[in-house]
Amino acid sequence: MHALSPHRIVFEEPIVRTHVGLTRFPDRCPICGLRATKKKRIDATPKEPPWAKPPTGRRLTTIQRIRLGLKPVTFIVPFCEEHVDIDSGRGRMRVAATYFFGLATSILIIAIMFVGSDLWLGRGVPFWAYPFLGIYALCFAAFVLTYRPSELESSVKVIGFDVNRDHVFLQFKDKTYTDEFLLLNKSNAELVSWIVRV
Ligand SMILES: [Zn+2]
């Protein structure tokens, strides 16, 4: 039954547990603290429970997700003029980085076979192997860098949902913002230092 065992995560800095429907965000930018004039959508989708996963390993269809109550949740978070757009183009960058890393990996597999046969025949490492390894390392670095959470993503991070999916766990980078958030959501939010994620 180990697939059903809950996943417990402990946080050094307490995070916020808040009601999905009642949550309000402070009118300040969570990155710089200035007065917010713009708004940004932050989407979060509850993870499917292990017992609901199709045996084929594929993801659930939209209809199956809705039936299980795994509706995506959208938060409208105020940001300042300067920071609301800092992530534009990041999605495309991630797609491109994934593509080039995938391409470089398939070339790497072929390259290893060529290098292997050259070594086998006693011809030594071919001249192109080193520059290729350099290019491969660059693709890998770009892939890792674009997938790191951005400044915007780490300012308001959705950690997960609780068992009933009516509460969500949020982590804010700025402590003052966290305090203000708690004050604003006095009746429906609290600090927690560990969670069982579903
Ligand atoms: Zn800002």
Ligand 1 centre to CA of 8 (Å) is 33
Ligand 1 centre to CA of 169 (Å) is 22
Burial class, 182, CB count within 10 angstroms (exposed 0-12 / middle 13-18 / buried 19+): middle
Alpha helices in the chain (DSSP H): 62-67, 90-120, 129-147, 151-155, 175-184
Ligand 1 centre to CA of 190 (Å) is 25
Ligand 1 centre to CA of 31 (Å) is 5
Ligand 1 centre to CA of 84 (Å) is 7
The model's pLDDT over 114-132, given as tens digits with 9 standing for 90+, comes to 999 999 999 988 999 999 9
Beta bridge partners of 155: none
Amino acid 196: pLDDT: 73
Ligand 1 centre to CA of 45 (Å) is 25
Rounded Cα gap, residues 180 and 36, in angstroms: 14
Ligand 1 centre to CA of 33 (Å) is 6
Ligand 1 centre to CA of 79 (Å) is 6
Rounded Cα gap, residues 123 and 126, in angstroms: 8
The model's pLDDT over 67-116, given as tens digits with 9 standing for 90+, comes to 777 778 899 999 999 999 888 888 899 999 999 999 999 999 999 999 99
Ligand 1 centre to CA of 144 (Å) is 25
Burial class, 65, CB count within 10 angstroms (exposed 0-12 / middle 13-18 / buried 19+): middle
Mean pLDDT (the chain) is 88
Ligand 1 centre to CA of 173 (Å) is 13
Amino acid 2: pLDDT: 44
pTM: 0.73
Ligand 1 centre to CA of 38 (Å) is 10
Per-residue pLDDT, averaged over 7-36, amounts to: 92
Q: CA-CA distances (angstroms) from residue 62 to 17, 27, 45, 76, 174?
A: 26, 33, 11, 23, 35
Ligand 1 centre to CA of 192 (Å) is 26
DSSP secondary structure, 67-100, as one string: HTT---EEEEEEE-TTTTTTTTTHHHHHHHHHHH
Ligand 1 centre to CA of 34 (Å) is 6
